[in-house]
Chain A
Amino acid sequence: MDLQDQAVLDRGIDEGLEKLTPERIEKVIRHVLDNESAARLKVYLETCVHCGLCSEACHTYLSRDKDPDFAPVAKVKDTLWEMVKRKGRVDKDLLRRSARIAFTECGACRRCSMYCPFGIDIAYLIMTVRRICSLLQIVPQYLQDTTNSHAVTSNQMWVQADEWIDTLMWQEEDARDSFADARIPLDKEGAEVMYSVIAPEPKIMAQLLGNMAVIMKAANVDWTMPSADGWDNSNMAMYSGDFEVMGRVERAHWERARALKVERVVMGECGHAYRGAVYDGPKWLGWQKPPIPMIHAVEFYYELIHSGRLKIHRKITEPVTVQDPCNIVRGRGLHHKLRYVVNALCENFTDMDPRYEHNYCCAAGGGIINCGPPWKLSRMKSIRVKAEQMAATGAKICITPCHNCHSGIEDIIGHYKLGMHVSFINELLVKAIAEPQG
């Protein structure tokens, strides 16, 4: 238990709670439990033997000196168990606690499913709690804002249509400093690749787009980006529990890709956008898989380097380590390809321990970082193990092929004073492929 976290004020949750009546609470919870969840929820709740063996899987539990309230099963006990036991007749204190736990203390990283002897999907159970909170409109304010943005603009950060195209054109110009004929081709039908990014790129990290234009030119890839809605599938609605908006965002994204008749979609360095586009979105829409193959940037870089389409001229010499993002490692098994790319780019690479599927989450993913400043201190307390894991590598750069990991690790480095930098692969790659001058 952490009293400081419990005292955090969040208008999204607190003001939402004020508007709720006992009847509405009961109705919504019963609706989700009876109509929206079926076999998995029931079997998981029935099968759990309350053995606590999932505890050590969770970075929040480990980072907070093994406080039993942060064990995965305890998070279910403090939320769903009560809701099920009381058939939805729960009070507002329980709901406030449930929202705090579900949105800020579990990042749905699924590490615990690899530690529970039954493979119980705690992340799925917690997502069910988020769904209930979303329907009750008690979602952290900052996270809800990203969902509202998705609902209105289809992207996560209120990027306007003209702003989007402007940014692409500006970045195309920048890329021409490296290659005179570098381009960001818009809406090119039948291209080999549609490149997908998430809203933070045009909004705050535009140079990543320019970098991609350089990389595509260097590898001579036939690519395109959409000029209109459907370019951002970062899909925060998936994490706020607004599955209707999540479905809309994914549908818009896949319809855009279909309209452009591209052969495949390359997802930029973002883990949860990948997850949304490949699993959660299609699942909600009732599709078994996406209509067009999607690969993550790590796989794409791997292909380009492995096939020789990209030549590495200058390796990075500083000591580096790499963060395995949950959604592309536990969620896609890309850890070996990631190592291949990192070793191709860097001379001095040290792994974190544990690694691969067993790596700890960054504590930012799963929508946690999007809960914003009110919850930042709590998030930092929940991720001490990652700071220790990183410090042990002695690296100066931590490579993070995921936007959430990138921001989360940057915060960890600042908070725990690790004296490192974070970097996307994209940034290292443009340096490594630059032709030596003279």
Chain B
Amino acid sequence: MDIYEVVRGPLVWIAFLGLAGGVVVKLLLMASLAKKEKTVFPTMSASHGLRSILHWIMPWGSTNMRAWPVMTTVSFAFHLCLLVTPLFVMGHAVSWQQSWGISWWSLPALAADIMTLWVVCGGVFFLIRRLTAPEVRNVTTFKDVLLILLVISPYLTAFVAHEQWFNNDVMIVLHIVTGVLWMLAIPFTWLSHMFWFVFTRAYMGSEFGAVRNARDW
């Protein structure tokens, strides 16, 4: 097996299993811990939880988002591109097709390029914000910086590969390796905010709404 086959084969499996398994184990672990706190589950209210989630996934849906228009715009576009591009990019569609014979709609090449670049720019914006805004710099650790670099690296490498600026094979291998690390990082770092978001928001929404008759946005 050459390196390309290794990264395309076992490594990708490790990434998917690690991501899915990590998330499931974390959720189960927390569910059992949450039962120890007698009041967590009884506090949860579907309507108030959803109400809060909706306000916080709608751009400008909360007071604080309106207070930071640039951050809000960058972040929403960043997250949208970050999630949509890998699912619908042509290069991946080809892989899905080859490996499992499934095919679905894919993004026009130009759109994919722009969205990929947006993720990179968003990451750079976050890094600059972290280094220049005192209240963010104060709580930024070295790990935070590495993590943001990791988050943008599959996008950067894919873009460079696509443009064929360097040795394409090397770039693709780099792309896949960083992509795998990206997926594995989700359950085990603060990238876990991806799935915790729903729960923390729903819980706070329920405490504010169901218990205290107040709004939390």
Task: List A residues at the B interface (Cβ < 8 Å).
Answer: 38-40, 42-44, 46-53, 55-57, 61, 66, 68-69, 71, 73-74, 77, 113-115, 117-121, 279, 283, 286, 288, 329-334, 357-358
Contacts and interface: CB of A to CB of B under 8 A. Distances in A.
A50 B140 contact: yes
Contacts of B67: 56
A64 to B, nearest CB: 12
Contact of B214 (A74, A286, A332): A332
B137 interface: yes
Contacts of B133: 52
Q: Which 4 A-B pairs have the closest CB atoms?
A: A119-B204, A333-B213, A39-B34, A52-B136
B164 interface: no
Contacts of A66: 134-135
Contact of B200 (A47, A57, A286): A47
13 contacts: A38-B37, A39-B31, A39-B34, A40-B34, A43-B196, A47-B192, A50-B139, A68-B137, A114-B62, A117-B197, A119-B204, A119-B205, A286-B38
A333 B48 CA distance: 14
Contacts of B56: 117, 119
A331 B135 contact: no
Contact of B190 (A46, A74, A288, A333): A46
A48 B215 contact: no
A73 B52 CA distance: 21
Nearest to B144: A50
Interface string B120-146: 000000000000011111111100100
Nearest to A275: B212
A32 B38 CA distance: 16
B175 interface: no
B138 A69 contact: yes
Contacts of A120: 200, 204
A310 to B, nearest CB: 24
B60 to A, nearest CB: 13
Interface of B: 30-31, 33-34, 36-40, 42, 52, 56, 62-65, 67-68, 71, 133-141, 144, 190, 192-193, 196-197, 199-201, 203-205, 207-208, 211-217
A42 B192 contact: no
A55 B135 contact: yes
Contacts of B197: 47, 117-118
Contacts of B34: 38-40
B33 A39 contact: yes
Contact of A53 (B39, B68, B196): B68
A332 B196 contact: no
Contact of B52 (A52, A119, A288, A330): A119
Nearest to A73: B139
B134 A333 contact: no
Contacts of A56: 64, 67
A358 B214 CA distance: 10
B211 A52 contact: no
Contact of A39 (B30, B139, B207): B30
A50 B40 contact: no
A50 B134 contact: no
Contact of A279 (B37, B201, B211): B211
A38 B36 contact: yes
Nearest to A52: B136
Contacts of A288: 39, 42
B40 A331 contact: no
A52 B33 CA distance: 28
B25 to A, nearest CB: 13
Contact of A40 (B37, B65, B136, B205): B37
B30 A43 contact: yes
Contacts of B144: 50
Given A61-B135, A333-B213, 20 more contacts: A39-B40, A49-B193, A50-B136, A52-B133, A56-B64, A56-B67, A69-B138, A77-B139, A114-B215, A114-B217, A115-B63, A118-B193, A118-B201, A119-B205, A120-B200, A283-B39, A286-B38, A330-B208, A332-B212, A358-B63
Contacts of B138: 52, 68-69, 71, 74, 77
B118 to A, nearest CB: 19
A357 B214 contact: yes
Contacts of B212: 279, 330-333
B199 A43 contact: yes
B135 to A, nearest CB: 4
A328 to B, nearest CB: 9
Nearest to A285: B38
Nearest to A334: B213
Contacts of B196: 43, 46-47, 118
Given A52-B133, A74-B139, A44 B63 contact: no
B146 to A, nearest CB: 13
Contacts of B135: 52, 55, 61, 66, 68, 71, 74
B203 A119 contact: yes
B149 to A, nearest CB: 15
Given A118-B193, A332-B214, A51 B64 contact: no
A313 B144 CA distance: 63
A61 B138 CA distance: 13
A114 to B, nearest CB: 5
A42 B33 contact: yes
B145 to A, nearest CB: 10
Contacts of A53: 64, 68, 71
B140 to A, nearest CB: 6
A53 B197 CA distance: 15
A61 B139 CA distance: 14
A331 B201 CA distance: 17
